[in-house]
Structure 1
Amino acid sequence: MTKKYSKFLPSTEDFNIEQFPYYWVTQVHAQYVLNVDHALKKYGLDNSRRRILIALKAKPNASVSDLSDMVVSKMSTTTKIVYRLKEEGLVETYSCEDDARITRVILTDQGHAMTEKINDLTGVVLEQSFEGLTPLQIEKMMDSLRHIFNNLSR
Structure 2
Amino acid sequence: MEGGDFNAREWPFFWITQTAGQYVRKVEPALRDIGLDIPRWRVLMCVVPGQAIGVTEIAELAIAKLPTMLKIIQRMEADGLVACAPRASDGRVTDVSLTERGLEARSRAWAVAKAIYERAFEEVSGSEEARLNKLLERIYSSLRS
TM-score tier by shorter-chain length is over 0.9
- CA gap of 1:20–1:99, structure 2 versus 1, over 3 A, is same
Q: Are 2:138 and 1:147 equivalent residues in the alignment?
A: yes
d(CA) in 1 for partners of 2:101, 2:50: 17
Partner of 2:89: 98
Task: Please tell me the root mean square deviation across aligned C-alpha atoms, in Å.
Answer: 1.5
Q: Point out which structure has higher relative CO (alpha carbons under 8 A, 6+ apart).
A: 2
Please report the TM-score for the alignment, with normalisation by the length of structure 2. Answer: 0.93
Partner of 2:70: 79
Q: Are 2:36 and 1:21 equivalent residues in the alignment?
A: no
The answer as to whether partners of 1:57 and 1:112 remain within 8 angstroms in 2 is: no
Query: Identity across aligned pairs (percent)?
Result: 28
> Which runs of 5 or more residues in structure 1 are unaligned?
1-5
> Which runs of 5 or more residues in structure 2 are unaligned?
none
How many matched pairs?
A: 145
Q: Which amino acid aligns with 1:88?
A: D
- 1:1-150 superposed matches below 5 A: 6=1, 11=3, 13-57=4-48, 60-150=51-141
The answer as to whether partners of 2:50 and 2:97 remain within 8 angstroms in 1 is: no
Residue 82 of structure 1 aligns to a residue in which SS?
A: helix
Please report the TM-score for the alignment, with normalisation by the length of structure 1. Answer: 0.88
d(CA) in 1 for partners of 2:89, 2:114: 38
- CA gap of 1:123–1:45, structure 2 versus 1, over 3 A, is same
Deviations 1:2-56 (A, max 9, x none): xxxx2xx6x1x33322111111111001111111111101122111111111111
d(CA) in 2 for partners of 1:59, 1:20: 40
